[in-house]
A and B are shown apart, each in its own frame.
Chain A
Amino acid sequence: MLYVENLHKSYLVGKEPVEVLKGVSFQLAQGEFVAVMGPSGSGKTTLLNCISCYIPFDRGQITLGGQKLSDLDEAALAKVRNQKLGFVFQDFMLLDGLTVRDNILLPRILSGAVDAQAESYADDLCRTFGIDHIRNKYPAEISGGEKQRTAVARALINHPLVILADEPTGNLDSKSSRAVIDSFQRAQRELGATIFMVTHDSFAASFCDRVVLLQDGVVYDTLTNPGSRSAFQDQLLAAIKSMSGGDDHAIL
């Protein structure tokens, strides 16, 4: 579904180039729920932005659904973002002037593909994620958890190949975080969604099938969920501790 091979990306800090991604490689199978974790500055968000086609990368390859992103022009990349990817951001990125339902339909509106079927699907998503009762409300009138569930529903409206989530629980309390993770799991389970999530939160990550640990721009380790969430969280915490040289607070 998604292949990332030997990805390199550097930024100019002043006049000096600083390499943030130094040859990252991994892959996602269809229907997988994968998280990427790592300390600040490890390159998590840069990796996500490259996959999202928000920023160009220097070298390497990203292949999404058999299509190499580096071969695409600006218009084609926009189409990929619209139809093959779904996005969930830390600060929700909802338009304040649109209702919950219209926000969910936004990717379809942008591609001019709103029809009765899309509207009906938006309503289904509202029901699926427990936001049916607020679908005519504006973002300013709903809670953070509801906003993020709206964002998850929006990410799914175009039946994307992959949902990319950037710290989706970062601005939420534990109850709302749990509700959002539930939404992801439901999307995975019921809609067959593939999810790639950047997070600092080992609790959120422990619900994933796999977790890619990044450090200093390279993949430090990849851990697979053994089937028990709490055991996986312990495993994650141990790996993080070892990655940060014994510092318990490096990520948490």
Chain B
Amino acid sequence: MQSFNQLTAHLRRQGRKNYLLLMGCCFFSVLLITAYVSMMRSPTVLSVLPEGGDSRKQVMMVFVLAVVGCAVFTTYASGLFLRSKSRETGIFLALGASRAQVRRQLYRDLGIVSVASCAAGALLGTPLAWVIWQIFRLVVVDSEEMVLSFDPQAYLYALAFSVFVTVALFLMAAQFIRRTNIIDIVNEARKSEPIREVKPWYGRVGILLLVAGGVLGYMMPSFFVRQLHWYAPGAVTAIFYLPAMVGLYMVLLHTVVNGWGRGRNRYKHIISTSQMRFQGRQTVRNMLVITVLVAGAYFASFYAPMLSTSSSYQFDTRPVDYAYHFRSDQDIPLEDEVRQLAADYGVIITTFTHQPSAILGTDGTISIEQDNGALGTTYTEAYREIAGGASFLPESAYNALTGQGIDIPAGSCANVLDDEGGSSYLSGGDVTHLTNMSTGATLDVTPAEPLCCTLLLGYYVLDDADYAAIAADLTPDWREEVVFFNVEDVEATYPFAKALFNEIVDRSEPEVEVADYWDPVQRELAIAETGRYDYDDPAYLAEADLYQADYGQRDSSDFRNYWKYMPQFRVLDENDFLTTMAVFLMLFIFIALICFAAVLVIAYTRCLTIAAGNVQVYDDLRHLGASPWYLYCTVRRQVSRVFVTPVTVGTAAMWGLYLLIMYFNGEPYGYTGGELAGMGSCLLVTAGCSALIYVVYRLTLRQVLSLLHIHR
């Protein structure tokens, strides 16, 4: 060995485990982030996530969590690596190597490590996303929409994260070398990380803050909107989640430093608690990341079961097999044609009901929004005699369609809610003044007790005489037809359902090729006032990233979800649900996979470093006469704390938030049957994921025991 370069090359080979650990961590972080961002920026995925929509925000939110988690994980790995280099660096400096010489060598090593691992992670991230997606397509579901395409811009994100990883590594290395006291560097590897005293009330106050932050964070945005008429910027509403983060930190800190069974088991757990306490900062930081990622993973993984179970519940409980409506000026198949088509497919129609409805102008308040820039948007409400349009049924038609026997008193009007009397936020609310848009005739009504029928959610029902009066002389473009029918053996009628659906779409004219936000009454008002209706303008819709209905994309999830005249055929919805929602569901499953993978790798790495750092302690304990069982228990307690505490807190936090969301999701507050069924599925998912984490925990425990030479 002749030169410093040869010497460091030799030491690199000797310490390759440390290099491999750092490379592995950097590679893994960049790989995950690249895979995630490849998927997030994929045109395939973006096409099903409306711009500004909740889903896109949720995907972005979990992405931010993943980035923060991976960033903390990478800096943790860098810290470990530098600790492993501290002894040799200290000896070099003590024996007369210059700082510049050592810095050059360290930078060269880190340069190779970071460039190689980041490049490998960035290059393999997209193929990884592609492979996972293809497995989804092969094993779970496949549809036209699931053909995956990638946006090269994703690589910019991957590059940005790689740059962050590299810069963080170099900054930490620079700080490490800059330390003036050589003795500190030499002693670095043996230094514990004492954390300041943690008061015994930290745990309880932490839980309180955690709950308060979750509730406040969820409730404040709607409080702002309802009470202050203020759409606050995201940053403002996010602040209210801060107590939850502080609380989470306090809970974990208390768990690591004090433990929960202090009085009872103080001596029993003194070894494991004290060992963890002196690796406190790193442990808590890692546990925090794991907690947040577990919460993110569950948030994403609940999406698919929640959506599919509640939809399935809704399909199953739908009282009518086939329901559709159309504007009266459209040439859409009615009873004779439908029966003929049914006969062609060998389908027997058992009941067939066809009733008229009318589109009337309704009074109400409109929001006049004012954009305040960075301060968000405020709005004022103003009453208008004609604020928008809604569909109206006479009571006899409603009774014929639903089989109910309601009687609406003359001069009153009932709004239709869902089967369980909920979803009032979708139903339009009370109206008191109705306008015939063809003749200008008006009718004042008083709100009656709401009705319940999910298939007619958002309709209004009038007394027959009132209906006849106000709907008189409406032109066909202000009238609609509502058709409900049932068939024998509905599960076997999919080909018929598909054929009827295609027939309806094929025979619908371009003027009804509109999405559900399109309101003919508001259109009339807008044209009368400004000469144009924004929602007719494809350029405006494209700019606002609003869905434009397209008969050519009739099997897409967007069309099925948002076409204003989308039929509701139970067998069609049931069979096509998975394929139409495939991209959506798979995206969230993918996110969950990424987050869980990160959780498992971080927890595993953390436990192995606990083992590596405690070999001497366990030797000493063995020499002091500790039995293998005692040693096993102290190791198990440490490993389980890294796994169990953050996983439990993350799972509980996400369940708490979900229960909260479901409870307040729609009025009256409470849980619908669909939501309960969905949460049942989520419970199964939680059990499955917990079992997987437990398996990894057991494997990790076995590995740590083996590293510490502990045999039960």
Measured in the bound complex, the distance between the Cα atoms of B95 and A111 in whole Å is 10
**Given known contacts A54-B182, A97-B15, A114-B3, is B94 in contact with A87 (CB within 8 Å)?**
yes
Partner of B97, one of A55, A82, A89, A93: A82
**Given known contacts A49-B183, A54-B183, A109-B4, is B88 in contact with A95 (CB within 8 Å)?**
yes
CB distance from A117 to the nearest CB of B (A): 13
**Given known contacts A49-B183, A54-B94, A55-B181, is B1 in contact with A105 (CB within 8 Å)?**
yes
CB distance from A135 to the nearest CB of B (A): 13
Partner of A110, one of B14, B15, B97, B183: B97
Measured in the bound complex, the distance between the Cα atoms of B87 and A98 in whole Å is 13
Measured in the bound complex, the distance between the Cα atoms of B91 and A154 in whole Å is 12
Is B7 part of the contact surface with A, judged by Cβ < 8 Å?
A: yes
Is B11 part of the contact surface with A, judged by Cβ < 8 Å?
A: yes
Residue of A54, A75, A112 with highest tally of chain B CB at under 10 A = A54
Is B479 part of the contact surface with A, judged by Cβ < 8 Å?
A: no
Is A127 part of the contact surface with B, judged by Cβ < 8 Å?
A: no
Measured in the bound complex, the distance between the Cα atoms of B100 and A95 in whole Å is 20
Is B99 part of the contact surface with A, judged by Cβ < 8 Å?
A: yes
State the total of A-B contacts with C-beta under 8 angstroms.
Answer: 82
Is A38 part of the contact surface with B, judged by Cβ < 8 Å?
A: no
Q: How many chain A residues touch B (Cβ–Cβ < 8 Å)?
A: 31
For A105, the chain B residues whose CB sits under 8 A away are: 1
Partner of B99, one of A56, A78, A79, A98: A78
A83 touches B96 (CB 8 A): yes
Chain A residue with the shortest CB-CB distance to B96: A82
Is A74 part of the contact surface with B, judged by Cβ < 8 Å?
A: yes
Partner of B11, one of A79, A82, A97: A97
Is B93 part of the contact surface with A, judged by Cβ < 8 Å?
A: yes
Is B10 part of the contact surface with A, judged by Cβ < 8 Å?
A: yes
Is A64 part of the contact surface with B, judged by Cβ < 8 Å?
A: no
A93 touches B186 (CB 8 A): yes
Is B553 part of the contact surface with A, judged by Cβ < 8 Å?
A: no
B10 touches A55 (CB 8 A): no
Is B98 part of the contact surface with A, judged by Cβ < 8 Å?
A: yes
* Chain A 75-91 interface mask (CB, 8 Å, partner B; 1/0): 10011111101010100
Residue of B15, B94, B101 with highest tally of chain A CB at under 10 A = B94
Is B530 part of the contact surface with A, judged by Cβ < 8 Å?
A: no
For B94, the chain A residues whose CB sits under 8 A away are: 52, 54, 81, 87, 89, 93
B92 touches A110 (CB 8 A): yes
B181 touches A81 (CB 8 A): no
A82 touches B95 (CB 8 A): yes
Contacting residues of chain A (117-142) with chain B, CB-CB under 8 angstroms: none
CB distance from B181 to the nearest CB of A (A): 6
For A74, the chain B residues whose CB sits under 8 A away are: 98-99
Is B350 part of the contact surface with A, judged by Cβ < 8 Å?
A: no
Measured in the bound complex, the distance between the Cα atoms of B180 and A93 in whole Å is 19
Chain B residue with the shortest CB-CB distance to A99: B1
Measured in the bound complex, the distance between the Cα atoms of B101 and A82 in whole Å is 13
Is A4 part of the contact surface with B, judged by Cβ < 8 Å?
A: no
Measured in the bound complex, the distance between the Cα atoms of B177 and A74 in whole Å is 13
Measured in the bound complex, the distance between the Cα atoms of B182 and A56 in whole Å is 11
Measured in the bound complex, the distance between the Cα atoms of B14 and A105 in whole Å is 18
A79 touches B3 (CB 8 A): no
For A81, the chain B residues whose CB sits under 8 A away are: 93-96
CB distance from B573 to the nearest CB of A (A): 67
CB distance from A88 to the nearest CB of B (A): 11
Contacting residues of chain B (151-206) with chain A, CB-CB under 8 angstroms: 180-183, 186
Is A162 part of the contact surface with B, judged by Cβ < 8 Å?
A: no
Interface of B (DSSP majority class): helix
Is B227 part of the contact surface with A, judged by Cβ < 8 Å?
A: no
Chain A residue with the shortest CB-CB distance to B15: A97
Is A243 part of the contact surface with B, judged by Cβ < 8 Å?
A: no
B2 touches A109 (CB 8 A): yes
B2 touches A55 (CB 8 A): no
B95 touches A106 (CB 8 A): yes
Measured in the bound complex, the distance between the Cα atoms of B182 and A128 in whole Å is 30
Chain B residue with the shortest CB-CB distance to A114: B2
For B186, the chain A residues whose CB sits under 8 A away are: 93
A110 touches B10 (CB 8 A): no
A80 touches B1 (CB 8 A): no
**Given known contacts A49-B183, A54-B182, A97-B14, is B4 in contact with A80 (CB within 8 Å)?**
no
CB distance from B313 to the nearest CB of A (A): 64
Measured in the bound complex, the distance between the Cα atoms of B195 and A220 in whole Å is 39
Measured in the bound complex, the distance between the Cα atoms of B11 and A4 in whole Å is 37
B1 touches A110 (CB 8 A): no
* Chain A 54-81 interface mask (CB, 8 Å, partner B; 1/0): 1110000000000000000011001111
Contacting residues of chain B (549-584) with chain A, CB-CB under 8 angstroms: none
For A93, the chain B residues whose CB sits under 8 A away are: 90-91, 94, 186
For A78, the chain B residues whose CB sits under 8 A away are: 93, 96-99, 101
Partner of B7, one of A55, A87, A109: A109
Measured in the bound complex, the distance between the Cα atoms of B537 and A185 in whole Å is 98
A110 touches B88 (CB 8 A): no
Measured in the bound complex, the distance between the Cα atoms of B502 and A196 in whole Å is 97
* Chain B 71-103 interface mask (CB, 8 Å, partner A; 1/0): 000000000000000011011111111111100
Partner of B95, one of A87, A97, A98: A87
CB distance from A50 to the nearest CB of B (A): 12
For A43, the chain B residues whose CB sits under 8 A away are: none
B95 touches A107 (CB 8 A): yes
Measured in the bound complex, the distance between the Cα atoms of B95 and A83 in whole Å is 9
Measured in the bound complex, the distance between the Cα atoms of B97 and A82 in whole Å is 7
Measured in the bound complex, the distance between the Cα atoms of B4 and A75 in whole Å is 16
* Chain B 7-21 interface mask (CB, 8 Å, partner A; 1/0): 100110011000000
Is A146 part of the contact surface with B, judged by Cβ < 8 Å?
A: no
CB distance from A251 to the nearest CB of B (A): 22
B2 touches A79 (CB 8 A): no
Measured in the bound complex, the distance between the Cα atoms of B95 and A80 in whole Å is 9
Measured in the bound complex, the distance between the Cα atoms of B586 and A94 in whole Å is 55
B2 touches A75 (CB 8 A): no
B182 touches A107 (CB 8 A): no
For B15, the chain A residues whose CB sits under 8 A away are: 97
CB distance from A205 to the nearest CB of B (A): 23
For B90, the chain A residues whose CB sits under 8 A away are: 93
For B97, the chain A residues whose CB sits under 8 A away are: 78, 82, 110
CB distance from A139 to the nearest CB of B (A): 12
Partner of B181, one of A54, A87, A110: A54
CB distance from B192 to the nearest CB of A (A): 17
A55 touches B183 (CB 8 A): yes
Chain B residue with the shortest CB-CB distance to A87: B94
CB distance from B108 to the nearest CB of A (A): 16
Is A167 part of the contact surface with B, judged by Cβ < 8 Å?
A: no
Chain B residue with the shortest CB-CB distance to A54: B182
**Given known contacts A56-B180, A93-B186, A97-B11, is B95 in contact with A110 (CB within 8 Å)?**
yes
Measured in the bound complex, the distance between the Cα atoms of B4 and A97 in whole Å is 14
CB distance from A18 to the nearest CB of B (A): 16
For A83, the chain B residues whose CB sits under 8 A away are: 96
Residue of A89, A109, A111 with highest tally of chain B CB at under 10 A = A109
A75 touches B96 (CB 8 A): no
List 9 A–B pairs whose Cβ atoms lie within 8 Å, in order of A's numbering: A54-B181, A75-B100, A93-B90, A95-B11, A97-B11, A109-B1, A109-B6, A109-B7, A110-B92
Report the 4 A-B pairs with minimum CB-CB distance, sorted nearest first.
A82-B96, A97-B14, A81-B96, A78-B98
* Chain B residues within CB distance 8 Å of chain A: 1-4, 6-7, 10-11, 14-15, 87-88, 90-101, 180-183, 186
- A81-B95, A114-B1, A114-B2 given; 19 more Cβ-contact pairs under 8 Å: A52-B94, A55-B182, A74-B99, A75-B98, A78-B97, A79-B98, A81-B94, A82-B95, A85-B96, A93-B91, A97-B88, A102-B1, A106-B7, A106-B95, A107-B95, A107-B96, A109-B1, A110-B92, A110-B96
